[in-house]
Amino acid sequence: MSSQPNQSLIDGIRCLQYLVSSGRAIGCRELARLMGINTTRVNRLLMTMASIGLTMQDAQRRYLPGPGIHALAAQAIRGSALFSQALPLLERYAPKDIVVAMGVLWEDQVIYIYHSKPGSQVSQALAGFHMLPAWQSVIGMSLLAAESDDELQKRFTDEQWQQLGPHVALQRQHGHVVWHHDDGEVSMAKPLGAHSAALAFAGMWNIEDAEVEIRLQALHTLASHLTEKA
């Protein structure tokens, strides 16, 4: 048997992920443009997934996630050691007065598994935030540091690298990223080891260096809870 990756399977999974992440009905041509592949191929993939309930079409023949997504989502959550271990710990230990987020990288995008805001319920925090380009996310900056500068510079524009590069260097040097935004917000992130995910605090505005350090220590403590062996 061939040891080469199955490109049809890869394209099918990518297609489904882009569709689900779009948050709206989307046509074949637009989806093909996002994925960088042929429209006919995307149409065939979507029709194949529709036959098993993973996609469906609206009145304008645009595609949406189908009912099979709910079964797939439930199975994925049940099979995720990170999710099942992290959720009760985030409920118990995460600060309630700032944004607390946990996310993973996918194709230079950050997908948020958990994203809470002050006063929000846990149900609102679960996958309740849209994906962001990795260079615009402190979680993305933290996780991209595992790759070489040469590889990263091939994928990002000069403008994107100008913002990303210094934070990648901070992650490699200190094991975390602290980002002082131009508008006065401070955000910070730390990878969660073998899980290929990162934990972040954000929504902290115009805070002094002493408070930054206090929040950073709280981030390290919460990350330690999330990575402890059950």
In this prediction, residues 57-80 reach a mean pLDDT of 86
**Distance (Å, whole) CA 192 – CA 42:** 34
Q: Which fold has domain 80-228?
A: Beta-Lactamase (3.30.450)
Q: Is the pLDDT of residue 28 over 90?
A: yes
Tokens of 197: 């995910």
The whole-number pLDDT of residue 71 equals: 85
Residues 107-166: tens digit of each pLDDT: 888 988 889 999 877 666 776 667 889 999 999 999 999 999 999 999 999 999 999 999
Query: Token pair 């403008």 is at which residue?
Result: 159
Q: Is the pLDDT of residue 86 over 90?
A: no
For the chain, percent of residues with pLDDT exceeding 90: 67
Cβ atoms of residues 198 and 149 within 8 Å: no
Each domain of the chain, given as residue ranges in start order, spans 7-70, 80-228
Sign of CA dihedral 49, 50, 56, 60: positive
Q: Residue 66 phi/psi, 5° resolution?
A: -95, 180
**Distance (Å, whole) CA 46 – CA 134:** 27
**Distance (Å, whole) CA 21 – CA 9:** 18
Q: Is the pLDDT of residue 169 over 60?
A: yes
- Length of the chain, in residues: 230
The whole-number pLDDT of residue 2 equals: 58
Cβ atoms of residues 103 and 137 within 8 Å: yes
The whole-number pLDDT of residue 120 equals: 76
Q: Residue 75 phi/psi, 5° resolution?
A: -65, -40
Among 92, 121, 90, 107, smallest CA distance to 201 is for 90
Q: Which residue has the higher pLDDT, 65 or 74?
A: 65
pLDDT band at 230 (very low <50, low <70, confident <90, very high): very low
Tokens of 173: 């040097």
The H or E element containing residue 105 is: strand 99-106
CATH of domain 7-70: 1.10.10.10
Task: Read off the pTM.
Answer: 0.78
Domains 7-70 and 80-228 belong to one CATH topology: no
Sign of CA dihedral 221, 223, 227, 230: positive
